[in-house]
Amino acid sequence: MAVTPLAATEVARADAARAARAMRARHRREVIVQTTVAAIIALIFFSPIVYWFLVSVKPLPYTMTWPPVIFSEPIFDWYQVVILGMDPTIGAKTGVIYSGAAGDYYVIPSLVNSVVIGVLSTIISISLATPSAYALSRFQFRIRNNLITWILSTRMMPPVVAMFPLFWLYTQADQRLFSAIFGKGTSVLYDSLLGVLLVHVVVNLPLSTLLLKSFFDDIPTDLDEAAMVDGCTRWQAFTKVIWHYALPGMAAAAILAFITSWNEFLLTLTVTRTQFRTVPVFGSTFDVSAAGTEWGALAAVSTTAMVPVFIFVLIVQRNLVRGLTMGAIKG
C-alpha cells in the first residue's frame, strides 16, 4: 500500500465520521418513522375512547350533532354524579339536569365489585389452573388428550345456553340445600360473592389451564426429578420448586384471566341481583331508557371505569408480552 500512514488515518477518520453521521441520521430517521407508525396505530385505536370521554364533559347537544363541537367549556357534572354519587338533579352548570331518564348512576360500587371479583377470581382460577396444568404436562395417562379437548370445549358453550341451568342450580341449591344447613333465606350462591366468583373462575379455567400447561411443557422435567431425589414428594416438588419457574406464565395467564373477568357480562347478569353487579352489568342498564339514552352519564361511567384498568394495563402490558413469549407460543 502506497498510502502514508498519516493520510490513511485521516481518511479512515473522515470515513468513520461520515459513516457515524450517516448512521446517526439513519438512526434518527428510523426512530422518527417507527415511532410515528406506532403512535398513529395507537392513537387510531385510542381515539374512540377520547371521543367518548369528550361526550362525558360536554352538554349533549354539542355531541349529538355533525360536525360535533369538539372544543367547549368542559362540564364535569356527570363525573360528580357517577363518582361522587351526587343527585343528577343538582349541581349542573346548565341548570337542572332533567332526571326523567332514571337510573342509579353511582358507578363506584360496581367498580369496586368488578375489581374485587376480578382480582379474587383471577387468584382462584390461577391457583386451580396451575396444578392442573402441571399434571397435564407431567403425567401421561390414557385419556389425557380427551381431557384437554373437553376442557377446551367447555369454553365453547354459548353463555346464553347456560343461563337458565345456572340460575336453576343456584336458586335450587340455595333453597333446598344451603337453607337447610345455614338457616332459612341464606343465599350462598345466588347474588353472593361466592356464586359470582365461581362463574368467573370457571369461565377462566380452560384458557388458563391450557396456557399454563405449555409453560410447564417448557420447564425441564429434570427439575422435578432433582427435587424428588432430594426427598420431596411430587406435590412438594411442585409447590416448593417447579411453580416458581412458571411464574412469568402465571402472570400472563392471570392478566388474561383478569381481562376476561372484567369483560364478562351475561352469566354475571344471570347470577346477580343488586349485590355484586359488575361494571358491564351496570353499564347495560343504560341500554334503553324511554326518555332517550343518558349518553353523558354513560360516557362518564365508562371513562371512570376505564381508569383503573388503564393503570392496570400500563403496569402489566410488559409482563404480559414477556410472559406470553415464554411458553404458550414459542416460535
Residues 12-71 that bind other proteins (CB under 8 A): 27, 30-31, 34-35, 37-39, 41-43, 45-46, 48-49, 51-52, 55, 59-61, 63-68
**CA pair distance 319, 255, nearest whole angstrom:** 9
Do the Cβ atoms of 78 and 299 come closer than 8 Å?
A: yes
Q: Which of 107, 196, 254, 279 binds other proteins (CB under 8 A)?
A: 279
Do the Cβ atoms of 86 and 297 come closer than 8 Å?
A: no
Q: Which of 11, 12, 19, 96 binds other proteins (CB under 8 A)?
A: 96
Region near other proteins per CB under 8 A, out of 4-12, 15-23, 167-175: 167-175
Q: Does 183 bind other proteins (CB under 8 A)?
A: no
Query: Cβ of residue 68: shortest distance to other proteins, in angstroms?
Result: 7
Do the Cβ atoms of 96 and 90 come closer than 8 Å?
A: yes
Q: Does 86 bind other proteins (CB under 8 A)?
A: no
76 grid coordinates: 364535569
- Nearest alpha-carbon partner for 242 in 212, 210, 211: 212
Q: Does 157 bind other proteins (CB under 8 A)?
A: yes
- What angle (nearest 5°) sits at the alpha carbon of residue 108, between those of residues 102 and 111? 110
Region near other proteins per CB under 8 A, out of 6-14, 15-23, 140-148: 140-148
Burial of 274 (0-12, 13-18, 19+ CB in 10 A): exposed
Q: Does 91 bind other proteins (CB under 8 A)?
A: no
* Cβ proximity to other proteins, 9 vs 149, nearer residue: 149
**CA pair distance 140, 131, nearest whole angstrom:** 15
